[in-house]
Chains A and B, each alone.
Chain A
Amino acid sequence: MFNRILTLLIASLSLSLISLSAQAVTPAEPLWPTLKEVYFGDKPIREDASDLLVIEAPKRAEDAAIVPITVKSLVPQTADKYIKHIHLIIDNNPEPYSANFELSPDLGLINISTRMRVDQYTFVRAVAEMNDGSLHMVERFVKASGGCSAPAGKDAAAALARLGKMQIRMRKPVIGQEVQAQVIVSHPNYNGLQFDQKSRLYIDAHYVKKITISYNDKMLMSVDTGISVSEDPSIRFTFTPTEAGELKAEVVDTKEQHFSQQKAIK
């Protein structure tokens, strides 16, 4: 596992270097064949896996800084057969590998939404990695937004002022019934690609790198997040509380700052 993470890290580092220099124009050559090899090696990926997964994204990124993306599964998780990871890849972003959702077999049907930065025409892909290691992919094409939209935040000072503030939002939960919840943490999520004209240096990346959501200390999902994630990272998901307990969300950023929030369900 660690090796794989290391490989991924090295891969995405070298890729982000490539794409930094190539960032000036929307790439004419599809990046996916290269990305696929870097992230998944020679493992086969079943494409158009629309019997298993659905990915929803707007046709046009209305706001480059906040593009809602939803991934749903069509087959319920079971202990024997379940989606262990969902890898979210945005081909033409500076760092294409955008998130890795590690999922519990207890989650039932997967229904996850998050918000990403998308500032040029790109494919957005969800690759499901089953517990048997097989890979299944769905994709959507997203057009870039127009005009003055940029992936940068709108009010840097406000975002910094409430850094680390968290919310767990949900409708009134009922034991034994599926409920939708949203975990949201205020964070500027600096992506390290912003140039400071005074110092002629790039502003250090500072972003949320991990969000872990658990119920009664049992992991529901653990998400590795990268620089594509929007300011104030948000994860919306459904789960079924089978007994009274505590829903907890824990967040770690790249400066090793920890934030957490919990909500009791009775």
Chain B
Amino acid sequence: MCKYYPLITSLVLLLAAPFSYADENYEIKTVTTGIYYHQGVHQDPTEANMGAIANVGFIVGDNCVAVIDSGGSYLEGTYLRKAIKQHTSLPICYVINTHVHPDHLLGNAAFKQDKPIFVGHAKLPAALAAREGTFARVFKERLGSAYDGSEFIPPTLTVTTGQPVDIDLGNRILTLTAYSTSHTDHDLSVLDKNTNTFWTGDLLFMGRIPALDGSINGWLATMEQLQQQDFAFVVPGHGNASSDQWQQGLAKQHHYFTLLRDQIRIILDDLGTISQASKQVGITEQNSWELFELYHRRNITASFVELEWE
């Protein structure tokens, strides 16, 4: 699948953490041995932040590199690629997209020249088909010149729920797991077996408010599964990667959606409306999250129309 290149250990490079590239100010942080990420800012995507609002990064094996989420714009994709190239001469063999949202996937085209295998959930192609038109129009407008060159590239390797797939980067196995509807209907996580590092995609938001684009019940169930796990490091979709903060992050996110669900159920039982729920539900949470105003009411709307069918 990947060309074989001589072994180059990445250990030497580990020492400088975090490191950045002076010309770009695009900071790359080390999670643990061979695992690096750029931490997105807690903002809405703009031309000024080039859509670099989500955590994106890469894992280096003995043979090749896997990119996990490619950036929020073509421009961010080129920065990430440059960072990888400065870091290692190994080829990029996989670009893994954790889900459809543009902040995680618009950088795909920057890696086309590497001829990687693009990887996603089996339902990612359908999600792309349904949203590509809107995303292209909206993000071209929002990201300005940072968008130029962006493409919606569907996966060539897909992963089905219940059937995890292992890929080998050379003495480094990554387990890719597809989920039933949670944050979206096509979330994919990455587990690095060597270091027990878990890359959640947007199954976990830390710091900024989570955005529901799937199923509140499904996502809560997935969070409960993840709470049973014992990972050494976790890279969330947004916020700090850590060995010791993610448990609290998961508990906080679980609390937020449990509160929403409980309060919406009460309103539904009384034949209340979405507008009413938008005004009443979860307001105690407003100081707990960044970007609360931008996504909270949307989470209520999305939860409401799901819970209506319970």
* A contacts, CB < 8 Å to B: 23-26, 56, 58, 62-64, 66, 68, 70, 113, 115, 119-120, 144-158, 162, 165, 167, 169-171, 180, 182, 184, 186, 193-198, 203, 230-232, 234, 236
Contacts and interface: CB of A to CB of B under 8 A. Distances in A.
Contacts of A148: 100-103, 135, 211, 213
A182 B44 contact: no
Given A150-B134, A154-B215, A62 B308 contact: no
Contacts of B309: 162, 165, 167, 186, 232
A152 B131 contact: yes
Interface in B274-310: 274-275, 278, 294-295, 297-298, 300-302, 305-306, 308-309
B135 A150 contact: yes
A198 B298 contact: no
B302 A203 contact: no
B209 to A, nearest CB: 11
Contacts of B152: 197
B298 A155 contact: no
Nearest to B300: A62
Interface of A is mostly: loop
Given A25-B141, A147-B211, A153 B45 contact: no
B298 A68 contact: no
Contact of A170 (B218, B271, B306): B271
B101 A155 contact: no
Contact of A184 (B103, B297, B308): B308
Q: How large is the interface on B (under 10, 10 to 19, 20 to 34, 35 or more residues)?
A: 35 or more
Interface of B is mostly: helix
A150 B130 contact: yes
Nearest to B270: A171
Contact of B130 (A23, A25, A149, A153): A153
Contacts of A70: 275
A160 B219 CA distance: 20
Nearest to A231: B305
A121 to B, nearest CB: 10
B129 A171 contact: no
A193 B137 CA distance: 14
B129 A194 contact: yes
Contacts of B300: 62
Contacts of A158: 181, 185, 215
Contact of B294 (A58, A147, A231): A147
B134 A203 contact: no
Interface of B: 44-45, 100-103, 123, 125-138, 140-141, 152, 154, 181, 184-185, 211-215, 218, 270-271, 273-275, 278, 294-295, 297-298, 300-302, 305-306, 308-309
Given A68-B275, A232-B309, 9 more contacts: A120-B137, A120-B138, A145-B298, A148-B103, A155-B218, A165-B309, A197-B129, A197-B154, A230-B305
Nearest to A57: B275
B54 to A, nearest CB: 10
Given A152-B131, A154-B181, A162-B309, A68 B213 contact: no
Contact of B271 (A153, A169, A195): A169
B292 to A, nearest CB: 12
Nearest to B153: A197
Nearest to B276: A68
23 contacts: A24-B137, A58-B275, A58-B278, A62-B301, A64-B134, A113-B273, A144-B138, A150-B130, A150-B131, A150-B135, A152-B131, A154-B184, A155-B218, A155-B306, A156-B185, A157-B123, A186-B309, A194-B130, A196-B126, A196-B129, A198-B125, A232-B308, A236-B273
B295 A147 contact: yes
Contacts of B126: 156, 196
